[in-house]
Every structure is written in structure tokens, then in C-alpha cells.
Structure 1
Amino acid sequence: MQKIRNIAIIAHVDHGKTTTVDKILHSCQTFRENHEAGELILDNNDLERERGITIVSKNVAVQYKDVKINLIDTPGHADFGGEVERVLKMADGVLLLCDAFEGAMPQTRFVTQKALSLGLKPIVVVNKVDKENCRPDEVYEQIFDLFFNLGATEEQLEFPVIYGSSKNGWMSTDWQKPTDNFFPLLDTILEHIQPAPYNEGTLQMQITSLDYSSFVGRIAIGRVARGTIKENQPISLVKRDGSVVKSRVKELYTFEGLGKIKVSEVKSGDICAVVGIDGFDIGDTIADFEKPEQLEVISIDEPTMNMLFTINNSPFFGKEGKFVTSQKLRERLYKELEKNLALRVVETEQPDAYLVYGRGILHLSVLIETMRREGYELQVGQPQVIVKQIDGKKCEPIEVLTVDVPGDVSGKVIELVTQRKGELLIMEPKGDLQHLEFEIPARGIIGLRNNILTATGGEAIMAHRFKDYEPWKGTIPGRSAGVLISMEKGQTTAYSIDKLQDRGRFFVDPGVDVYEGQIVGEHIRDNDLVVNLVKGKQLTNMRASGSDDNVRIAPAIKFSLEECMEYIQADEYIEVTPQSIRLRKIYLTENERKVNAKRFVTE
């Protein structure tokens, strides 16, 4: 029996997954006494730290009681499901983390279903039991019901439960008896998770994740399923389509702490990183040189949404970005395909525009935000859901939407969701909140979050997961208000914004450069209005003292990238540059917009 345990950690966004891994690393004294590690060690890119979510799966390994525990941190958001599905292949068990108040959320359900179907043994950790009005016992019951509904085996239903507070650094088998360390959790992992088995035979290893180094190029990461892999060993790479490419392992690494250490061989059951193999993709099998045998190919759920990516052709083109040509855009999108399994890129009739398919708005916005930070300038169109023909019927993706809101505003939420063809399925109290569950077309969710947060004073907690394709639900009303469009290129003035404040709310402050066709605000009516924000005050020599000082302008509304994606309509683009996010009409002059108006009349 090998002294190795492989365990994946799954949880909903913000239930304390990354903090738990931090504390396990500290408990096993992975760091030197004088080493300042900080917090959220695994969320190592800026986007993950800012949003507080895990986007890319990471591997770390710790030593506890002479046993090596490989920990795999997985994303919690359903939009990154492609990342989760393949990573679970490396694990023998899962640690399911739940918030002691919120309980199991829809996206936890999504990942748990994948884990249970692979036959992994679960350990449940009820986290944040130090919070006010937490309900650990109810959450335990809820998770048992969830496992039962997902078709867990009897062995999986006999799961151990640990209670604790990752933030305060303790875990215990009884939530009313806190300890002062994390050892009860680590002991439970050793006791309940099977040691990684050693399978005799010829080499088999599936590539489930990849890393990149500027020195050695792409690095294949996976778990050795059978046999032993050695340094300098000749191997066969079996591609997804069954074709075989001969290659050689140059270097081998296993994980230790937060880093990797070089080794000469890795036996089956352990997770390793392989350097020196060219042209591999995720899902390929590294097999024996003479008798290659392929492992089952990883199947990934289909994308549900697409967006048009095109080069920036606005009047401010090239002012801020380093990469602005269609060739650079194309190279970057195809490079993303190598590691982002759930993404698809399709070329369009226009040479400088690409349709990018993804799992949801967050999935696509993370890609756009990453490109923007790398120095790319681009424009993106309105997100569109993918429609399929099933048995001769037009079908669209349907999502299960859950909203937790204070009871006095639940009526507003139900009204907003039903306007978008949502159907209320469940309405029940949850602590001091109302828990609502709907079935709603994926189209209806685009733009819904903003409206619900506005209607509930920011108190709604929303989550949704993909259910299935169902027949088309009919027309959904879009944005109710029109927009204010700039008439001229120039710098906005406080004088003209002040004079137009009764026409709507503005997205720009005084002294900002705008161009003709740029969307500068929201109109109070449902039609678009062209306004001149560049006009200054006519100076005369007659002047009342102090009359210029009392210009009072409401602060401009600033949208995040996701909010922009939910806000725009079919005839609008978001212009994304390293320093700015602007909204604009596709056709900048009023004349062009009138000529092409019929193109954008949707159902």
C-alpha cells in the first residue's frame, strides 16, 4: 500500500475553500518559521484575488504523519465546470466544503454530481460554524438529502462530517466543542480516503491539466494510472482521435508544498508533471512506447453561450493597447483553446471577427478581462445563447435559478423573473430570508442580476446552474430604457452634462474624451437620444457673480465588465482596452444607424 492520498476540494464560491487549503499548508508546516506566506496562497493571479474566486485548478502536496496528501483546489463556479470535470479524474476522494448558514448551493450540486458519478468517497466539512445564526445540523441533513437525490451509493452516503472555522484555524468532529488546530480534518482524510492504489502493468497516464514555463514550454500534469513513468523514457502519446505520436520524457516532477521537486521516476497513484512532450492536449494518454493503450477520453459539457469578438475599430483605436491587429487577436484566442477546454472559437465571414463559445457570462468575461490586462484591445458584442433543433423543435438552454432575499422584497423578484419567462418552483423560508427557485431560459438571466440587485437594495443572493435544453419559451423583453449617444468627438463639459441631467443618468464624468456614437448614458424613455456633451458655455461679458459655481452633477454610473455584457443590446458593442471599458453603437453615425436599423430587429 502506498502512502499517498489524492483528494479534490469542492465548494461553492466564497465558502472558504482556498482559506482551508491555506490552513492545511500551515498545519503541516509547509513553510519555514521565518517565511511570510500571506493569505489566499493558491489564488495566485490578480483576477482570482480581486474577485475572491478560484478560476484555475491548482495542485499542492503536504506531508502528514508520514503520508503524502495531494490536494487539488477546484473552481466553485459552474462556468468553470470544464476545469473541474477533468481534475476530478486525479482524485480518490473529495472534500465537500459547505457554509454553515448557506448550506449546499446550486453550483456545489453541479460539481458534487460529477464527483459522485466517478465513485469518489466524500468527506463533508461544514465551515464557518462561528457565524451568527448558523445551522450546522440542518446543513448536514440538507447535504445527506442532496447526496441521496444525486444517486450516491450506500458507501458514499455514510460520509464522515467535520465542523469548523477555517478563518479561525480549527476543525472538530463536534461543532460545539472547538479545538485549536486542523488535525481532526487531516486524521479523517487518512482514515476514510483510500490510499492511492499501485496498478501493475505498462504505463498509462492521462493528461488532465497543464502548466507553462517560459524555459521549457508546456508541461503535462496528470495522475499515473498504471505502471511507472521514468525520466528519459521513450513513450507513445495517444491523441483524442486515437492517433499515436512517439515522444520522450525529458524531466519528471512531483508536487511538494506549493512547488515541484525533480524526481527520476513516479509510480502509479501519484500526480506528476512531465516535461519534454510536444503537441499534447488535455485528455491525451501517455502510454507505453511499444504497446500503447488509451484511457477513456474526458468528455466535456457543451458551451451554452457565444459572443462576437472583433478588433477595435473605434476612433480611439490603438491609444492604449499593445496588441490591436486581427492576427494578434486570432493568435491569443487559439492559444486560450489549448488550456480552456470548455471554450470554442469559430471563424466568421468577416476576417477580423470570431465567434467565441463559452459556458456562461463569467467564463467569457474572465477571458476578456485577462486579455485586457495583457494589453489587448478588442470589441465584443451582445452574449447570445446557443439554440438547437431537437426533434424538429427549436430548443434553448434552461437554467435553475435560486434567489435568497428578505421576505418583504420577494414579490419584486418573482415579478422580475416571471417577466423573463421564469417559472416559480419553490418558495420557502431559509433563516430570516425567503428561498426562491425558478426555471428560466438562459436568455432571461442575461441582464437580470442588475435589475434584481437594484430592486432588493443589493440584498439578493443569486446562483444558477444549467439544467437542460427545452422548447423555445417565446419572446423575452430586453432592456426597458433607451440610451444617450454622443453626437460629437471631444471632451465632455460639466455645463452640458448639467443641462441634460433631466434626460437620464450618465456613464461619463466631465472632462472625459468621447466620440460620436459612444453610449454616454441611459435615457429616461425607451428610445435612443443623441446628445451633445462637448458644448461649452458661451462666454459673454455680462456675468452674474457665482452663477457658475452651483453646477451640481450626479456621479457617473460605472459598470463592471459583466454588467456591461448584461446591459448591451444587439446593435451595440463593448470596447475593451487596457485602461477603459466603453459602450458604443456598432454604427457610429446617426445616418448609418437609421439605414441598418432593420438588421437588429430581434424576435
Structure 2
Amino acid sequence: MPTVKPNNTRNFCIIAHIDAGKSTLADRLLEMTGTIDKRHMQAQVLDQMSLERERGITIKMQPVTMNYEGHVLNLIDTPGHTDFSYEVSRALKAVEGAILLIDGVKGVQAQTVTNYNQAKALGLAIIPAINKIDQRDADIERAERQTIELLKGEDNGDGSAGSTTAQREPIHIHKISAKDGTGVEALLRHVIKDVPPPKTAAVISAAVATIAKHTQKPPSPLQALIFDSIFDQYKGVIAYVRMMSGEVHADQRLITLGSNRSFHAKEIGIFSPAFRPTKSLDAGSIGYIATGLKSIEEVRVGDTIALHGTETTPIPGYEQPQPKVFASFYPAEEADFPQLFEALGKLKLNDAALDFVPENSGSLGRGFRIGCLGKLHLEITAERLKRESGIELIITSPSVAFRVMGRFDGEVHIRIVSSPSFFPPYGDIETIEEPWVKLFLTTPKRYLGPVMTLVQNYRAIFKQQNYLSEDTIELVLEIPLMEIMRDLYDRLKSVSQGYASAAYQIIEYREGDLVRLDYLIAHELMEAFSKIVPRERAELETREDVKRLKEVLPKQYFAVAIQGAVNGKIVARETIASMRKDVTAHLSGGDFSRKKKLLVKQREGKKRMEHEGRVHIPKEVFLKLLRSS
């Protein structure tokens, strides 16, 4: 890699709502800069997971280094779905500028606003571009009006768009087609012109000088911010770094300041987009350091890498992502439990946001309680586990983490509980708090009525309404996270013909009137089906679930009672009639007393089975039940 002056380096990312064309634009930039030969180009070249290509979405951010007209351009392609917004926030802290990509068909959407406000708060240079100008149904004028309103409007301080339209200096908005390349070269030239060169903060130099005065150890000019990491079985944990100051070489002895782990750099390099080893990484550059360490926990995102044996100030500002949505994963065959544990461990190495702990269910055996960032993250995790391990999984309905004040182990205290099975008995619970979010909905004005009607069924509290343009509205609501885990997104798309979009931010825990639903089959509690719901919905939901259980459970040789309980009180019951077996079929004739004796024996056996017997629920029935819920 030729030496390039820091002034000729540009670090930037692409931010947008999902499906706006970020990865397609990245493809064109790679093609235009000659980073990848046209013969080797393929769609979504930076999306390296097969799931990303199949679903047409970016799940994990991917950096790449490009050379163009004497400049080094470090691009980070980011996800667009709100579940992976933590990836976007990490990328924004590693760059000086961002291309704000707007869908020319759908205009400014919820995540567009959220990402813009994050980039603006960090003081990044923002270059707006409207994509898909080649599509027949694109409304470029409308998208341009919405973008101007967004860029001119003041941030309300809560992540929502403002409505100020005071005249300021003219805003230049690029109009491009990432698909055929129209306008992309002009956009790239504006990145070079408008995005400032990397900051090697003066604060760092001051801190280094202060350390030199007050310690015996020499100060380290090296500060590398870890913004992502993956695991390689040969090179160990590979840290993706933004060089804030100093220079790093292969074989140097380094240390992670947060976890206090020292290591020798096995390899350093840049992304092209595959790993490309180099001799060094300079201040302002983006690249990777192969640590040789075997645990992802030792190379945490947000940590700072420095030279070993020197005093260095850690770079502040990063937070570890916290799981928000939980579900239990059980192998369909209990013998596959060790393989599931191994598969989760491997997945965790490349997904810092994934969390899991073992648990045991009487009906399903051993499994794991999985914590993810959202419902899509949960679906992606399940699909990756199935593909990479080949294990058939039984997955319970998603839940959120509640803050419960009650009697645990004989003492009253507050505990975060992510599974209904970990709740104390109803009489020992004092309060239950659930997480609430600020929900941002963008919708065309013509769908405002149906959207408002819809959200009223999800315990939403209306807070604010903003006009992004004369025909597009942003609604700001507060809503329990539990409600989003229902089918809110799907129904939102349905009532708006696909034009409405949503994004959310966790705000706080609030006390709720919540109850636990339990289901008993043949008087045996089935913990896999237990859930926490609002009291107002509890009885209706219990009755519906009991009816669905009756429809899918197989018949037994005895009558099976299906009961639904709210906080321990039975409120619904259905009975599956016993399966009839003709025990007299083999008798061709003779005295009737012989038949009567067999029938009496059968009746007594059924009574005994009903009293003592357990219902064996096939794994496929569990799968059907949990999918339908």
C-alpha cells in the first residue's frame, strides 16, 4: 500500500433506511475506483453472509479501503434495519463523514431520520443523495422536498425531525442511480471535497504530554479504536480499528486498555474488501489487527489498543449493546444439545450483541435462553444456527426483559427477568416494569387514519406529529417494546401498502398492569408456552390459545384437559376427547359377557391413564404451536 498523506485520506460511511440501496451504491463505488475488477463483481459484494444476499439486507457493517485519484477512501457500509442501529452508531464514531442515502421511491423514512440525527449530533459532514432515479415509480421531487425539510429542520432533542423551514444556504442534493451508476462519480468527488481529513485529536496529544510529565513510563502515541471484531480460527480475534493517533506495525507488543490483555500483532492490514496485509497502519486510517487472542470478550468493541508498557488514555464514548428481546432455543433432539452449545459459541465470536445462558424445561429438555437486539436479529440468529449446525430448533415466542420487584429466594428485591418461568409466584410479586420505546413512524398523509387506528391497539401514547413534507408525516409515539414484538411492523406495512416505516429507541422502564399466562395439558404445566401480557388482553388471549392447542394436539387414549390460567387462576378450558380403540374387534362371536369384560377393562384403563398419564407432545407439534403464536 503506497504511503498517503493524512490530508488525502477520507473516512466515510453510507447511512439509510433499509432497502434504500446502500450495498448497491457500495458496489458502484468499488467498481468505479477499481477496487474490484469488473469481471469479479457481483451484487452486494460487501454483504459476505449468504443470508444477507438472500434477504437483500445488510446485517453486519463491512469496511473497505479504496484508492481514487491520489486519495485513500475508507468506506463503511452499514445496516439499515433498526435492530442493527448499534452497528451504525459504531461506524459513525469511526468516520468524519456520511452519505445520507434517500430512497427515491419511498422518500425519507423513519431510520433515515434517526441515522441523520445521530450523524448530525457527532458533527459529521453529511452528503445527501437521492437514489433510484432510474425507476419509473420514483418521485424525485417529493423525495427532494422531504430531504430539504429534514436538513433544514432543527433537531427537537428527542431524535425526531424538526419543522423549522427558515431559509439557510442552499442544500446540494445528489440524484443518483446506484444500479446503473448515474451521478455516482460526482457523489464520490463531493466526498473527497466535503468530508474533512481524519482527526488525530489535539486532545490526544495533550493527554500524552500530561502523562509524560507525571509517570515514569514513556507515553504511547498509539491509540486505535476497536469498532468491530470477528474471530478467525488461525489468527484469533481480528479487531477492526480506526487509528486515532500513532502508527502500528506487525509483531509489535500491544495491549487492550479495557480488558488489560497484551498480545503480539500477528498481522495488520486493510480491507480490499478481503483482508490485505500491510507493513503498518498510520493515524487516520481504518484497518485490522490480528491479535491471536482466542476470546472475543478480550477484544471488546469500543476498547482502545495501545503499545504495551506505555501510559495511554482510553478513548471514551462506546457502550456495549444490551439484548432487548429474548427467546428460548431447544434442540428438537436432546442429543444435539452439545452441538447447539458449540454452535452458539462460534456465533458469539462474530456477534458481540448475542447473549445466551443455559436453561432446562421439563417438557423440552435442555436448551438456552437467547438475548438479541430485536426480532429480526433473533430470526437471523435462528437461521444461522440452523444452517451452520444443521440442528432442528424449537424456539419459544419472543419476550422482553422485565424489571420485577418481588420475593426471590426469600428476600424482596428487584431483578431483571427475561423469561416467564423465572418469575416468582403471583403472590410474591409487588411490581412489574416493562421497557418502553420512543417509536418514530413515517407515513404518507393519505394513510394517517389507518396508521393511527392501528397503533391505538398497541398501547401507544401519541406524543408529536411532524410534517417531513406536505404529504409525508412523522409520528412520534411512546409504546411498550413488548407491543413491537407482536406483528406491528407487518400490520403497519399492510395498512399503508408498504409505504409506512418505523424505527425506535429504548427510553425507560415503566410499571405496567401485567399478568402471567400459563397453560396446563393433562394438569401438567407447559412452561414453553408461558408468557407475560397486559391484564386487559389476558382472558381473551388465553381462550384463543387454548382453542389453538386443542386444534393441533394429537388425540390420546384418554380425555386430555387443556387449561389456561391467568396468574394461577384457571380462566379457560377445552377437552380433547379420547381416541376410540375397538378392543372387541378380534372377537368373532361368543357370549356378550366377554365383550363387556373387555370394555369395562378398557374404561378402567382410560380412567387410570387420565389420572396418571402424561401427554407426549411430538416436537413437530411444538414447532407448529410456537410458529403460529
TM-score by length of 2: 0.68
In structure 2, relative to structure 1, the CA distance for the partners of 1:44 and 1:454 (3 Å cut) is closer
Tell me, which stretches of 5 or more residues in structure 2 are unaligned? 206-219, 406-413, 415-430, 514-533, 562-571, 582-616
Tell me how far 1:259 sits from its aligned partner.
Answer: 2.5
In structure 2, relative to structure 1, the CA distance for the partners of 1:5 and 1:85 (3 Å cut) is same
Which residue is equivalent to 2:246?
Answer: 227
Which residue is equivalent to 1:90?
Answer: 94
Instruction: Pick one of 389, 399, 417 that aligns with 1:384.
Output: 399
Amino acid of the residue matched to residue 192 of structure 1? D
In structure 2, relative to structure 1, the CA distance for the partners of 1:385 and 1:185 (3 Å cut) is same
In structure 2, relative to structure 1, the CA distance for the partners of 1:405 and 1:93 (3 Å cut) is closer
Which residue is equivalent to 1:161?
Answer: 173
CA contact (8 A) 2:441 2:503 kept: yes
CA contact (8 A) 1:378 1:575 kept: no
In structure 2, relative to structure 1, the CA distance for the partners of 1:431 and 1:532 (3 Å cut) is farther
Q: Aligned with 2:25: secondary structure?
A: helix
Give per-residue Cα distances to partners, 1:200-234, cap 9 Å, x unaligned: 75211122212343443332211111111011112
- Counterpart CA distance in 1 for 2:93 and 2:493 is 41
Instruction: Pick one of 266, 276, 280 that aligns with 2:281.
Output: 266
CA contact (8 A) 1:485 1:530 kept: no
Tell me how far 1:274 sits from its aligned partner.
Answer: 1.3
Q: Aligned with 2:93: secondary structure?
A: helix
Larger radius of gyration: 2
Instruction: Pick one of 487, 493, 496 that aligns with 2:554.
Output: 487
* 1:373-412 alignment runs, 5 A limit: 373-374=387-388, 375-388=390-403, 394-402=433-441, 404=443, 407=446, 411-412=449-450
Q: Percent identity?
A: 24
* 1:30-429 alignment runs, 5 A limit: 30-32=35-37, 35-131=39-135, 132=137, 133-134=139-140, 135-145=142-152, 148-149=155-156, 160-171=172-183, 182-197=184-199, 202-240=221-259, 244-256=260-272, 258-278=273-293, 279=295, 280-282=298-300, 283-293=302-312, 294-296=314-316, 298-312=318-332, 317=333, 325-348=336-359, 352-374=366-388, 375-388=390-403, 394-402=433-441, 404=443, 407=446, 411-424=449-462, 425-426=464-465
In structure 2, relative to structure 1, the CA distance for the partners of 1:193 and 1:160 (3 Å cut) is farther
- Counterpart CA distance in 2 for 1:272 and 1:251 is 11
Q: Aligned with 2:309: secondary structure?
A: coil
- Counterpart CA distance in 1 for 2:442 and 2:62 is 30
- Counterpart CA distance in 2 for 1:18 and 1:126 is 14
In structure 2, relative to structure 1, the CA distance for the partners of 1:114 and 1:435 (3 Å cut) is closer
In structure 2, relative to structure 1, the CA distance for the partners of 1:349 and 1:458 (3 Å cut) is same
Tell me, which stretches of 5 or more residues in structure 1 are unaligned? 172-181, 319-323, 490-515, 518-525, 536-572, 587-599
CA contact (8 A) 1:405 1:456 kept: no
Amino acid of the residue matched to residue 356 of structure 1? I
Tell me how far 1:198 sits from its aligned partner.
Answer: 5.2
In structure 2, relative to structure 1, the CA distance for the partners of 1:337 and 1:454 (3 Å cut) is closer
CA contact (8 A) 2:444 2:472 kept: yes
- Counterpart CA distance in 1 for 2:255 and 2:85 is 29
Give per-residue Cα distances to partners, 1:73-97, cap 9 Å, x unaligned: 0111121123222222321211111
Tell me how far 1:40 sits from its aligned partner.
Answer: 1.6
- Counterpart CA distance in 1 for 2:12 and 2:441 is 29
- Counterpart CA distance in 1 for 2:19 and 2:250 is 40
Amino acid of the residue matched to residue 505 of structure 2? F
CA contact (8 A) 1:305 1:358 kept: yes
The answer on 1:584 being equivalent to 2:600 is no
Tell me how far 1:585 sits from its aligned partner.
Answer: 6.9
Which residue is equivalent to 2:564?
Answer: none
Q: Aligned with 1:583: secondary structure?
A: helix
- Counterpart CA distance in 1 for 2:20 and 2:577 is 46
Which residue is equivalent to 1:498?
Answer: none
Tell me how far 1:160 sits from its aligned partner.
Answer: 4.8
- Counterpart CA distance in 1 for 2:348 and 2:580 is 43
In structure 2, relative to structure 1, the CA distance for the partners of 1:212 and 1:581 (3 Å cut) is farther
Amino acid of the residue matched to residue 507 of structure 2? D
In structure 2, relative to structure 1, the CA distance for the partners of 1:19 and 1:273 (3 Å cut) is same
- Counterpart CA distance in 2 for 1:429 and 1:206 is 36
In structure 2, relative to structure 1, the CA distance for the partners of 1:229 and 1:486 (3 Å cut) is same
CA RMSD of aligned residues (A): 4.0
CA contact (8 A) 1:381 1:574 kept: no
Amino acid of the residue matched to residue 324 of structure 2? T
- Counterpart CA distance in 2 for 1:147 and 1:196 is 27
* 1:533-548 alignment runs, 5 A limit: none
CA contact (8 A) 1:398 1:468 kept: yes
TM-score by length of 1: 0.70
Give per-residue Cα distances to partners, 1:8-56, cap 9 Å, x unaligned: 11111001111111111111123335x1412221222221112211001
* 1:433-444 alignment runs, 5 A limit: 438-444=477-483
- Counterpart CA distance in 2 for 1:112 and 1:457 is 24
In structure 2, relative to structure 1, the CA distance for the partners of 1:292 and 1:462 (3 Å cut) is same
Tell me how far 1:144 sits from its aligned partner.
Answer: 1.2
- Counterpart CA distance in 2 for 1:435 and 1:357 is 30
Amino acid of the residue matched to residue 375 of structure 2? I
Which residue is equivalent to 2:507?
Answer: 468
Which residue is equivalent to 1:539?
Answer: none
In structure 2, relative to structure 1, the CA distance for the partners of 1:302 and 1:45 (3 Å cut) is closer
CA contact (8 A) 1:198 1:267 kept: no
CA contact (8 A) 1:20 1:166 kept: yes
CA contact (8 A) 1:399 1:442 kept: no
- Counterpart CA distance in 2 for 1:533 and 1:78 is 49
Give per-residue Cα distances to partners, 1:286-314, cap 9 Å, x unaligned: 211221423226213533222222333xx
Worse-matched range after superposition: 479-488 or 266-275:
479-488
CA contact (8 A) 2:443 2:496 kept: no
In structure 2, relative to structure 1, the CA distance for the partners of 1:68 and 1:433 (3 Å cut) is closer
